[in-house]
Amino acid sequence: MKSEKGFSLAEVMLAIALLGVVSVAFLGAMSTASKAIFIADEQATAESLARSQMEYVKSLAYITAAGSPPSGPQAVYNGAKISVPSGYEIRSINRAGNEDTSANIIGVPWNSQSGLPLGTDGGLQRVKLVIKHIDKQVLTLEGFKVKR
């Protein structure tokens, strides 16, 4: 029997256990990398949507803020939202600081000195956008529309 070659049961079990540990670590790393790629893609899509929407609103004619919503006047850019991929939403923040769920983009008269809303439109409006993906807020972008 001493001349027979091969592996003992203990050696085989140790090799299988070592292979199992390496496999679990590899699969865990793959799972983490997959989640990171999904989050990065979600962020990139949200940023692209927000920037495109902001540029589109800036290209529209300036609307002087009027009316008296709960906290004062605001400009409503009716139907100014661009088309978005499935699962994503673009929301505008109104004068009261709440998300506007309509198809409108809101411009709030803004004081650049104090960083606060104005009671009358002085030619500068803050436009604040929130991008959501599957009801989760992914990105907020704030820009300004100027009367020229």
CA atoms of 135 and 107, how far apart (whole Å): 23
Mean pLDDT along residues 131-143? 96
Encoded tokens for 95: 């004068």
Q: What is the pLDDT of residue 50?
A: 96
CA atoms of 66 and 92, how far apart (whole Å): 17
pLDDT bracket for residue 2 (50, 70, 90): low
> DSSP labels for 76-91?
EETT-PPP--TTEEEE
Task: Judge whether residue 139 has pLDDT over 90.
Answer: yes
Report CA 33 to chain centroid distance, whole Å.
20
Mean pLDDT along residues 17-34? 95
CA atoms of 147 and 126, how far apart (whole Å): 12
Cα-based distances in Å from 129 to 5, 111, 113, 116: 72, 18, 21, 17
